[in-house]
């Protein structure tokens, strides 16, 4: 019987295993050094904040794997021997495979800062990071977070939930301004301050200082300021977790190079999820997509290939979501931080400063290109169809009610949004 070995039990690897099992009896083994059972790393923050216990982050009960005949091995893979079709594990045992899938995810970026490996310095990625935070939080009088993105703000929220003062260093002029346009980014800045987080824009980390026990005691910024702290969170993005593959003969770039079928340069070896790097970005996507949803989609696609129906990874329209403290964010299609040539941006913000939408559309054809929505929930299915059918921004404006996904009784802002849109963009029509 064919033996499919998957390295990594995150969302990509586990989705793959489940979908293979639906259609085939192959022997499936998942190897992970992180945890024995799959858990949702998106929920680690809620465990720290006391909203959930760790066991609640596990989407499947522990006997699920046995029931579905999926073997789990809780060990670290140290080397891939591609020619021998086998893996070396941390305890010097080995395991052989017929097909191998690399789904090892990411590791937090460290940019060679002095002191980046001290006690009290951590990323927020895996369960071990959560354990480290649990260990250090009780003695932390101030924490510094480096990196103004999705994980940085999550870590800030976590620490604030335990009343730990937080200084938040953001390299850019405004929070996540590489992705968020000015209006939205400013709105989140204000919300960060509302939560009593000490936000430092355009500030970089220079050095992390150690106390006599090798534990962080302060950091120095590029503005020459020393900030005393007992905890440093490094959240300046992630990179593919592929260093163990250096000598494997598998082609690496920043991640594991794969084609549209998620195949590496070696036959029978595949890569999916955060660690996979497309030779060229698909559509407007980046070659490496470190997003929950894309990991899941790659798992779904590769499962078809591995069960005899060769299928390209062919993601549909881009979508994503996040939550910035209390403000929910969803996006469908492409909205760039700066409107590109031939693009118009329509931006509406509610007067309370916690709700906003931005719609990007083509200047001439008025075709809808994408939406950012903050504090208002929108229907994925609606925008997926709008994008597929290449509907215009005017169509979307007329059907805002249909697009809305807020709970019942929520205040509806459609009229206000439509009014502003009419004022700004009706009459600009060139045809």
Partner 1 sequence: MSKSAKNISLASHQDNELNTIQKLGLTLGFIGLFIMTLAFFNVNFPNKTVWFTISISSILIGIVMYARSTYLSRPEGISNNGLFHKSLTNRGILAYMIGILLTSFYVVLYWFPTYLGLGENGAANSGIVGFFDPFSYFLNGHAASEWFVYGTFYTVAILGLGYKFILKYRHNKYQLVRTISVMFFQLGFAFLIPEILSKLNPELPYFAKDLKNMWPLNYYFFEDWHLTNMIQGGNLGMFMLIFGVAMIFIISPILTYFYGKRWYCSWVCGCGGLAETAGDPFRHLSNSTEKVWKVERWMIHSVLVFSFITTIAVIFTFLSNNPELSFITRNQFIYGIVAFLVLFTGTLFYFKRQDLDADAKYTMLSLVAIIIIAIAINFFSGNQNILFVDSYALRKWYGFAIGAAFSGVVGVGFYPLLGNRVWCRFGCPMAAILGLQQRLFSKFRITTNGGQCISCGNCTTHCEMGIDVRSYAQKGENIVRSSCVGCGICAAVCPRGVLKLENGSEEGRINSNEILLGNDVNLMDLLNNK
Binding window for partner 1 (CB under 8 A); candidates: 86-94, 220-228, 319-327, 393-401: 319-327
Scan residues 184-243 and list those touching partner 1 (CB under 8 A): 191, 194-195
Min dist CB 369 to partner 1, Å, is: 17
Residues 65, 319, 346, 368: which binds partner 1 (CB under 8 A)? 319
| CA 378 to centroid of chain Cα atoms | 20
* Residue 281 in contact with partner 1, rule: CB under 8 A: no
Min dist CB 243 to partner 1, Å, is: 27
Scan residues 342-371 and list those touching partner 1 (CB under 8 A): none
Neighbouring residues of 200: CB distance < 8 A, sequence distance ≥ 6: 167, 168, 169, 170, 221
Q: What are phi and psi of 330, to 5 degrees?
A: -130, 150
SS3 for 326-370 is CEEEEEEECCCCCCCCCEEEEEEECCCCCCEEEEEEECCCCEEEE
Structure tokens at 28: 């499936």
* Residue 410 in contact with partner 1, rule: CB under 8 A: yes
The secondary structure of the chain in percent helix, strand, coil, rounded to multiples of 5, reads 30, 30, 45
Q: What are phi and psi of 403, to 5 degrees?
A: -75, -20
Q: What are phi and psi of 217, to 5 degrees?
A: -125, -20
* Residue 262 in contact with partner 1, rule: CB under 8 A: no
Binding window for partner 1 (CB under 8 A); candidates: 108-116, 221-229, 248-256, 303-311: 303-311
Min dist CB 390 to partner 1, Å, is: 15
Binding window for partner 1 (CB under 8 A); candidates: 77-85, 113-121, 209-217, 408-416: 408-416
Min dist CB 35 to partner 1, Å, is: 10
3-state secondary structure at position 429: coil
Nearer to partner 1, 113 or 324 (CB): 324
Contact 125, 107 (CB under 8 A): yes
Binding window for partner 1 (CB under 8 A); candidates: 180-188, 213-221, 262-270, 379-387: 379-387
Scan residues 134-153 and list those touching partner 1 (CB under 8 A): 134-135, 137-141
Q: Could you tell me which of 321, 73, 343, 327 has the C-alpha nearest to residue 190?
A: 327
* Residue 398 in contact with partner 1, rule: CB under 8 A: no
- Taking the C-alpha atoms of residue 171 and residue 305, their distance in angstroms, rounded to an integer, is 42
Nearer to partner 1, 3 or 195 (CB): 195
* Residue 322 in contact with partner 1, rule: CB under 8 A: yes
3-state secondary structure at position 191: helix
* Residue 56 in contact with partner 1, rule: CB under 8 A: yes
Binding window for partner 1 (CB under 8 A); candidates: 58-66, 89-97, 107-115, 422-430: 58-66
Structure tokens at 53: 């216990």
Min dist CB 402 to partner 1, Å, is: 12
Neighbours of 223 (CB within 10 A): 11
Contact 139, 164 (CB under 8 A): no
Angstrom CA distances, 355 to 183, 249, 349, stand at 11, 50, 6
Min dist CB 317 to partner 1, Å, is: 7
* Residue 399 in contact with partner 1, rule: CB under 8 A: no
* Residue 40 in contact with partner 1, rule: CB under 8 A: yes
Residues 5, 80, 297, 386: which binds partner 1 (CB under 8 A)? 297
Binding window for partner 1 (CB under 8 A); candidates: 244-252, 293-301, 334-342, 415-423: 293-301
Residues 50, 112, 308, 310: which binds partner 1 (CB under 8 A)? 50
Binding window for partner 1 (CB under 8 A); candidates: 25-33, 72-80, 131-139, 334-342: 131-139
Scan residues 109-128 and list those touching partner 1 (CB under 8 A): 127
276 pairs with which residues across the strands? 256
Residue with token string 């939080």: 137
């Amino acid at each position: 019987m064919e033996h499919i070995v998957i390295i990594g039990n995150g969302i990509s690897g586990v989705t793959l295993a489940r979908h293979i099992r639906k259609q085939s009896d192959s022997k499936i083994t998942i190897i992970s050094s992180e945890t024995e059972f799959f858990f949702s790393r998106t929920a680690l923050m809620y465990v720290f904040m006391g909203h959930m216990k760790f066991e609640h982050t596990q989407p499947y009960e522990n006997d699920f794997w046995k029931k579905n005949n999926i073997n789990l091995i809780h060990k670290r893979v140290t080397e891939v021997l591609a020619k021998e079709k086998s893996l070396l594990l941390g305890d010097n045992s080995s395991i052989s495979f017929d097909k191998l899938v690399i789904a090892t995810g990411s590791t937090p970026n460290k940019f060679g800062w002095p002191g980046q490996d001290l006690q009290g310095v951590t990323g927020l990625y895996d369960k071990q990071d959560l354990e480290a935070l649990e260990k250090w939080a009780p003695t932390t009088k101030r924490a510094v977070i480096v990196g103004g993105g999705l994980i940085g703000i999550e870590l800030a929220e976590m620490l604030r939930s335990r009343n730990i003062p937080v200084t938040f260093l953001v390299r850019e002029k405004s929070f996540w301004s590489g992705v968020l346009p000015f209006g939205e980014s400013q709105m989140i800045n204000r919300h960060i301050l509302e939560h009593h987080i000490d936000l430092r824009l355009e500030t970089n980390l220079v050095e992390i200082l150690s106390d006599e026990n090798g534990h962080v005691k302060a950091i120095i910024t590029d503005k020459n300021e020393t900030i005393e702290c007992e905890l440093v969170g490094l959240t300046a993005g992630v990179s593919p977790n592929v260093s163990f593959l250096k000598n494997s003969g598998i082609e690496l770039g920043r991640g594991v190079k794969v084609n549209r079928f998620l195949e590496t340069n070696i036959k029978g070896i595949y890569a999916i999820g955060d660690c996979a790097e497309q030779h060229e970005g698909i559509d407007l996507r980046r070659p490496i997509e470190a997003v929950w949803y894309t990991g899941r989609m790659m798992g779904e696609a590769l499962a078809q290939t591995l069960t005899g129906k060769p299928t390209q990874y062919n993601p549909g329209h881009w979508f994503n979501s996040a939550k910035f403290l209390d403000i929910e964010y969803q996006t469908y299609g492409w909205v760039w931080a700066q409107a590109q040539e031939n693009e118009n941006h329509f931006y509406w913000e509610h007067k309370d400063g916690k709700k906003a939408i931005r719609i990007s559309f083509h200047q001439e054809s008025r075709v809808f290109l994408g939406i950012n929505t903050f504090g208002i929930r929108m229907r994925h299915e609606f925008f997926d169809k709008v994008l597929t059918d290449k509907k215009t921004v005017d169509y979307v404006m007329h059907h805002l009610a249909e697009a809305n996904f807020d709970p019942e009784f929520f205040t509806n802002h459609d009229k206000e949004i439509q009014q502003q849109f009419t004022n700004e963009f009706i009459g600009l029509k060139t045809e």
